[in-house]
Amino acid sequence: MDDRPDAFPERIAIKPAIATIGEPDHLTKFDAILPTRKPPKPKVVMGEDPALSKMSDAPTLLEFFEKRIHPHTVNHLLQSATLALKSGAGEKDVLACLLHDIALGGLIGSDHGYWGAQLIEPYVDEEVAFAVRYHQALRFFPDASVGYEYPKSYIELFGEDYQPEPYIRADYDYARNHKWYGKARLITLNDLYAFDPDAKVDLQVFSDIIGRHFRQPKEGLGFDNSPVAHMWRTMIWPRNFL
């Protein structure tokens, strides 16, 4: 640690617990700012984060796509939604494909279907959130009647022997017998990476569908006092200390 007075011109970001647990620096990451540490001590990131694109005072869904969600995820979501659109799916189904992995690319991977559904629940029709929630479980279970096979990428990523957790199996069983099963299954059918990697799809293609089926709060996502506003704020300021 550099102890010169000007050693900390920038604020440091302390990674969230969920990003460091299991990592070597998990138990030492607070050392630089411990009360017992001699000055000078660094300031931590709070509020505007120079490492990230500044977001407007009333962020829209499209703004999150442009400034916060991982570009690979955005590409994947656009490809999925485009496939759905070309297959003649309804607008709400296309929207579900467009949103299905936003949590994975913007917030967290573990249980991303559940996080994603929660993020959008106040702003979309119930069936769209249902589809996003249950696509995660359905991905593990083939359905020959609609031509859905277990993904080869899952064998590569998780190994031949991987078995989903019991809660995933239980949620699959629940969704399988639900009236909206087809909605969640439709996401998995369009949830492909083996799409033209050079295909450039413009987010604006979907702005009308978003406009018709995503109830954007006028205060902006994160500032409408909804039960999930804090989740959007966490994506706006992901490196805030508190």
DSSP-derived secondary structure letter, 24: T
The dihedral through the CA atoms of 119, 155, 73, 182 has a sign that is: negative
Nearer to Fe ion, 140 or 214 (CB): 140
Q: What is the 3-state secondary structure (H, E, C) of 173-232?
A: HHHHCCCCHHHHHHHHHHCCCCCCCCCCCCHHHHHHHHHHHCCCCCCCCCCCCCCCHHHH
- 171 binds Fe ion, rule: CB under 5 A: no
Closest distance of CB 187 from Fe ion, Å: 7
Closest distance of CB 184 from Fe ion, Å: 11
Give the other-Cβ count within 10 Å of 57's Cβ.
8
Closest distance of CB 116 from Fe ion, Å: 8
Query: Nearest-5° angle of CA 121, CA 185, CA 80?
Result: 75
Residue among 93, 121, 127, 191 that touches Fe ion (CB under 5 A): 191
Question: Which range in 31-39, 174-182, 190-198, 203-211 contacts Fe ion by CB under 5 A?
Answer: 190-198
Gap between the Cα atoms of 226 and 238, Å rounded: 19
Q: How many binding residues for Fe ion (CB under 5 A)? A: 2
Closest distance of CB 206 from Fe ion, Å: 16
Question: Which range in 27-35, 38-46, 50-58, 93-101 contacts Fe ion by CB under 5 A?
Answer: 93-101
Nearer to Fe ion, 171 or 191 (CB): 191
Q: Yes or no: say if 138 and 175 are a contact pair by the CB < 8 Å rule.
A: yes
Q: Which long-range contacts (CB under 8 A, 24 or more apart) does 20-28 make?
A: none
Measured in Å, how far apart are the chain's first and last C-alpha atoms? 24
Closest distance of CB 136 from Fe ion, Å: 6
Nearer to Fe ion, 79 or 232 (CB): 79
Nearer to Fe ion, 121 or 191 (CB): 191
Closest distance of CB 56 from Fe ion, Å: 27
Nearer to Fe ion, 68 or 190 (CB): 190
Gap between the Cα atoms of 200 and 78, Å rounded: 9
Nearer to Fe ion, 36 or 110 (CB): 110
* Tokens matching residue 9: 């011109």
Residue among 101, 121, 127, 171 that touches Fe ion (CB under 5 A): 101
Question: Which range in 101-109, 144-152, 163-171, 219-227 contacts Fe ion by CB under 5 A?
Answer: 101-109
Binding site for Fe ion (CB under 5 A): 101, 191
